[in-house]
Amino acid sequence: MSKDIEHLKDIQLLVNTFYGRVQQDDLIGPIFNERLAGKWDYHLEKMYAFWQTVLLEEHTYSGRPFPPHAKLPVHQEHFERWKEIFNRTVDELFEGKIADEAKWRAERMAAMFLSKIEYFRGN
């Protein structure tokens, strides 16, 4: 039986495993790899802080997560793949209340980002 997400080390394992898979994905990998070329370490550190703040309530993230995503060439299918990889990664590594919350928050964040991206494209 897997354990729940409890510490920064758990967040780091989740983020590193997830983005390792994203980088290899045929659909979303090229978008991430182009945008983050030479900046992956910085992005991963930011993601550790983001998820540490969201899931563990240890306030290490500051910033606005949406603006860097506003002009990405992404659509519904990209968000579906992102969620698929994220949920599979969480399920393979963790089990429990915080793991479930991670998947719920990812779902909400993906829906909000897609909605905002579509809004900005239309205006």
For the chain, percent of residues with pLDDT exceeding 90:
80
Mean pLDDT of 93-101: 98
Measure the CA–CA gap between 11 and 56, rounded to whole angstroms. 9
Between 40-56 and 8-24, two packed helices, what is the crossing angle to 10 degrees?
130
Smallest CA-to-CA distance from 2 within 104, 118, 97 is with 97
Amino acid 78: pLDDT: 95
pLDDT band for 71, please (50, 70, 90 cuts).
confident
Overall fold of domain 8-122: Globin-like (1.10.490)
Q: How far apart are CA 7 and CA 20, in angstroms?
A: 20
Average pLDDT (26-51) is: 96
Q: Side chain identity at 109, as an amino acid letter?
A: M
Given pLDDT bands bounded at 50, 70 and 90, which one contains residue 14?
very high
Write the CB contacts of 47 (distance below 8 Å, at least 6 apart in sequence): 15, 19
Rounded to two decimals, the pTM is 0.92
